[in-house]
Amino acid sequence: MAEPLRAETDVLVIGSGAAGMYAAIEAARAGCQVMLIDRSLIGRGGATVMAQMTVAVALGSQAPDHWSHHYHDTLTAGRGLCNETLARLLCEEGPACIEEMDTWGVGWARKDGRITTAFAPGHDRARCVYVDFLNTGPAVSKTLRGVVNKTTGISRSGDLCVVDLAKSDGVVTGAVAWHVGSGAPVVISAKATIVATGGLTRLYRRNSGSANMGGDGYAICLRAGAPLIDMEFVQFFPIGHLAPRLIGMDPIMWDPFRYKLGGRLLNSRMEEFTQSYGVPEDGKYVITRDVGTYAILKEVEAGRGSPHGGVYLSFQHCSEAALREAFGPVIDRLAKNHIDLTKMPIEVAPIAHYHMGGVAANARMETEVPGLLVAGEAVGGANGANRLSGNAITEALVFGRQAGRTAAACVKVTRAPSPPDARETLDLLRGEERKDAPNTAEMLQALQAIMADDVGPLRTQAKLERALSHIDELDVALGARPFGVAQPFDLTRLDWLDLRNMVTVARVVTQAALLRTESRGAHQREDLPGMLPEWRVNQVVRLKNGRIEISRMPAAPIEMAAQ
Amino acid sequence: MSEIATLKIWRGPNKTAGRFESYEVPYEPGQSVLDGLRWIRVYKDPTLAFRYSCINANACKECMMEIDGETIYACTTRLEPRAMTVEPLGKKKLVRDLVTEIAPPQERLRLK
Ligand SMILES: Cc1cc2nc3c(=O)[nH]c(=O)nc-3n(C[C@H](O)[C@H](O)[C@H](O)COP(=O)(O)OP(=O)(O)OC[C@H]3O[C@@H](n4cnc5c(N)ncnc54)[C@H](O)[C@@H]3O)c2cc1C
Ligand code: FES
């Protein structure tokens, strides 16, 4: 194979969602040369562009609010496991980022000149800003991409998938990427590297995310020596669209409807049921994500589910005029899918949506490994065992901005790093085609089935152990050398590289879930119901000589943090 | 017998060296052409190349191709129980199969 392509920069930003783009802007504004890369196209491949709902922030634009209230709600939702410092950063710095986005013309919905705030479950008041209609993520992404384009010092490249970080003398000094567009390896050296690769929901069969969210960043950082935390806490979104088949809209699209219009969750007897799980709704949307997911799955288990294995969500009590006012053109898109909400309920069921866990970082977004920073959903800890609606975009913006700042400060005191040691990864990418290779797309689907069936929201020891042995089998089938060829857009090779990460991350999630012998937030053990005080700990995952090691660290008590 | 959609798909590394190949895909009402392409990768041929990210949301705008001669998103076009022709965008540089170079030039890899 030809020599690898080489590039050099001050700051390398991996991933161009809200976190990566904000980080790039902030570092460039501080005078750094920035290289912003993405395995997909810039600003289009991750969760940010797909978000449809709201962004939680204590702006106080319509009624008084203060970040400490938002902070309190975040900690409560996190069921005692939030990393206080990170949660506080999110809540305290949120308003500044949202206001800056406003000056950049994102177009937050307004009434009488003031930014409108919506109420979302788990928040003590209306606190969530949005862009109509269902346009929050696209607007955030487009705005940031525009600012990135206008800021001097940021070079950008899509189709560039990072395979591993590269180090020299224990310091991360860049990364090795596979240029999907040509099949060529690329070695990038950098004084500071920011991993902003988003979450892991692609591990699950039914998920709300994109094809680029297989947890690459978690695996890459773990291999580079950085610990992960809270990996057992995968958030399921309770009311993901299930049936009838809907195209052109993300399955989580019903949430905004519920914010604005309430809506009724019904079982197969057409009866409301959330009150049996401690949360009566009375036409208002108040149930949090962990409880909602639990209630729906339990209803289905009891034989009271809808035909496709979920429950019903009904807006039949709303008039056509009310629906039209709240959702304008979206009503026409639904009509094209033969859905008339005034006449029929739809079916919904929990769907993998967000990851609370991630790379451990301090408030400067530094990991344990020098030279390596993280941002956005890739970071673990701010949301504990359960995330509040709207906190993820705020997290991406705030953590991105902070990572950019820290990187710039780090660049100022770093001499040109010695060239990264890229040999091992380059050797991997040099792999020959394997003739008898199994179908990678099928393997990926198999992994998603294992995770969905046995490592979903409701877990047992038996299911988790079965999952681990299936993951081991897949790992063996995958082997140590990549399938496919070093040619343009070879999806077989890309799948192999993805599976290498996904198998690692799946194993980490499953092992952490097996060790946590209680139920808390998004982690529900059917064999071990109830929260235990001794489990107010975060689990920390490290890779030692290729083996996963999990230890415990006490979490900060909520009483202290809530002051 | 259940119904079948036959996708006639352009395969090849550039616009001259290539051919159409036909794949039979089980048809279920409500599916998209992208669902069909993903089905082919899992059950027939994992080497088929096409671009997509968001799968359902129609947010990433990466799955644009020519379906029965019309420039359109694969994820919002319904699969139909008949023969359908799927080609890469005619006006963009072909990367492979259905993948074309659609990123703006300043967002592509450019190294000295
Ligand atoms: C459908 C949907 C709706 C949502 N709605 C909301 C909402 O209303 N409010 C809210 O607060 N949150 C919402 N969330 C969550 C929120 O959108 C995400 O948590 C947030 O956008 C994450 O931003 P990020 O920048 O960290 O990651 P992302 O936006 O996911 O970006 C990560 C980027 O990294 C790239 N990448 C990944 N691996 C690699 C690699 N190996 N090499 C190079 N690049 C790589 C990806 O292609 C992607 O572009 C939603 C999520 C989804 C999926
Ligand atoms: S797959 Fe994203 S727009 Fe079609």
ipTM confidence: 0.97
Residues with CB under 6 A from ligand 1: A 14-20, 37-40, 45-48, 50-55, 136-137, 161-162, 196-198, 208-209, 212-213, 216, 250, 252, 354, 376-378, 390-393, 396
Q: List Cα–Cα distances, A72 to A82, A390, A451, A523, A556, in angstroms.
A: 11, 15, 32, 21, 13
Say yes or no for a CB contact (<8 Å) between B111 and A6: yes
Confidence of residue A563 (pLDDT cuts 50, 70, 90): very low
Q: How far apart are CA A532 and CA A205, in angstroms?
A: 31
In chain B, which residues have their Cβ closer than 8 Å to the Cβ of A491?
41, 46-49
**Would you call B103 an interface residue with chain A, using a CB distance cutoff of 8 Å?**
yes
Residues of chain B with C-beta less than 8 angstroms from the C-beta of A158: 103, 107-109
pLDDT, mean of residues A436-450: 96
Structural contact between residues A535 and A513, judged by C-beta atoms closer than 8 angstroms: no
Chain A residues within 8 A of B28 when measuring between CB atoms: 245
Q: Residue A368: what pLDDT? A: 97
Contact A6 B42 (CB under 8 A): no
pLDDT for residue A558: 43
Q: Is the CB of A149 less than 8 angstroms away from the CB of B95?
A: no
pLDDT above 60 for A1: no
> What are the structure tokens assigned to A20, written together?
């990566």
CB contact under 8 A, A50 and B30: no
- Mark yes or no for CB contact A40/B42 under 8 Å: no
B63-66: long-range pairs with CB below 8 Å, 24+ = B63/B34, B64/B89, B64/B102, B65/B89, B65/B98, B66/B90
Average pLDDT of the residues of chain A: 95
B103/A210 touch (CB, cutoff 8 Å), yes or no:
no
- The whole-number pLDDT of residue A240 equals 96
Q: Which ligand is nearest to the CA of B32?
A: 2
* CB of residue B56 inside a 6 A radius of ligand 2: no
pLDDT recorded at residue A436 = 86
What are the tens digits of pLDDT across the range B62-78? Answer: 999 999 999 999 999 99
pLDDT of A559 higher than 50:
no
* Alpha-carbon span A508 to A502, nearest angstrom: 10
Active-site annotation holder among A29, A289, A507, A525: A289
Q: Tell me the angle at which helices B33-43 and A440-454 cross, rounded to the nearest 10 degrees.
A: 100
Distance (Å) from the C-alpha of residue B57 to the closest C-alpha of chain A?
4
pLDDT greater than 90 at residue A67: yes
Residue type, A334: L
Answer whether residue B50 shows pLDDT above 50: yes
Q: Is A289 a catalytic site residue?
A: yes
Give the atom of ligand 2 at the shortest distance from the alpha carbon of B55.
1
CA distance A72 to A560: 11
The label of the residue with tokens 């109420």 reads A119
Q: How confident is the model at residue B88 (pLDDT cuts 50, 70, 90)?
A: very high
User: Smallest CA–CA separation between B31 and chain A, in Å?
Assistant: 7
Residue-wise pLDDT tens digits, A250-261: 899 898 889 888
* Smallest CA separation from ligand 1 atom 21, residue: A48
Using CB atoms, pick whichever of A211, A439, A490 lies closest to residue B55.
A211
The answer to whether A70 touches A56, Cβ cutoff 8 Å, is yes
Give the model's pLDDT for residue A561.
42
Please tell me the predicted confidence (pLDDT) of residue A133: 82
Whether A222 and A541 have beta carbons less than 8 Å apart is answered as yes
Cα(B59) to centroid(ligand 2), Å: 6
pLDDT at res. A562: 40
Note the pLDDT tens digit of each residue in A377-406: 999 999 999 999 999 999 999 999 999 999
Cα A155 to Cα A149: distance, rounded to the nearest angstrom: 9
Residue B83 has pLDDT above 70, yes or no: yes
pLDDT band with cut points at 50, 70 and 90 for residue A416: confident
Tens digit of pLDDT for each residue in A286-344? 898 889 999 999 999 999 999 999 999 999 999 999 999 988 899 999 999 999 999 99
Residue-level length of chain A: 563
Q: For residue A434, what pLDDT band results from cuts at 50, 70 and 90?
A: confident
pLDDT at A397: 98
* Whether residue A557 has pLDDT greater than 80: no
Entry field: residues in chain B: 112
Give the nearest partner residue to A50 out of B54, B106, B111, using CB atoms: B54
* Closest alpha carbon within chain A to B74: A248
- The proportion of chain A whose per-residue pLDDT surpasses 90, expressed as a percent, equals 88
Closest ligand 1 atom, CA of A140?
Answer: 21
Residue A527 has pLDDT above 90, yes or no: yes
